[in-house]
Amino acid sequence: MNWLSTLLGNLNYGTVFFLMLLESTVIPVPSELVVSPAAYHAAGGNLDIWLIILFATLGADCGATINYLAGYYLGRPIIYRFANSKWGKMCLLNQQKVEKSEKYFYDHGMVATITGRLLPGIRHLISIPAGLSKMGYWKFLLYTTIGAGAWNFILAALGWYLHSAVPEDQLNDKIMEYGEYIKLFLVAAVAIACLYFLFKWYMKRKQGRNKE
């Protein structure tokens, strides 16, 4: 995708917003190569890091809203049909990925809209089951903003740190290397959080039975 390479090579607030909008739909744009390089340039004084996080999060909100509306109004059969189509495959999408995001959403409830934004493979699809389940839009938008904002903050912090650690010609390789560690950490953190809430739910249910 020459147009994508061109945009990634000319990062500013507008391109960060647009690319993160695409990343939050079904178009395979790596957010790591958008927010972190922009923050890298911010550390050099060319951009403002807080505005990068703001525009990245606004873009993510808009892209997530598109997925939410698709799930809300189009329904599961049409979503699956698109996922299995030629266009869906071009977006690295398939029905199994959509079903995986649905399972995560239904297993973890509405809070999945926050935690799902931090997980690879689910992050850009978690908005679809939120729409399918008719989750209230403003609650969906709040949770999405929290999750997307946290992810963008992490990526921006990585880019800012790398400005003093690596030359620009090694930046993308280092981002992807560190990005794998960050993903593993986040997956572990989300798993621990889910186990904690599951334990609290179990203990609350157990106490309720004891009172009967």
Can you give the residue ranges of every domain in the chain?
2-211
Give pLDDT tens digits for 155-190: 999 999 999 888 888 888 888 887 777 777 766 776
What is the structure's pLDDT at 201?
Answer: 64
Q: DSSP 3-state assignment of 7?
A: helix
What is the structure's pLDDT at 60?
Answer: 95
What average pLDDT score do residues 177-205 get?
A: 71
What is the structure's pLDDT at 98?
Answer: 86
What is the chain's Cα-based Rg? Answer: 18
Assess contact for 87 and 26: CB atoms under 8 A.
no
Of 197, 184, 183, residue with least CA distance to 108: 197
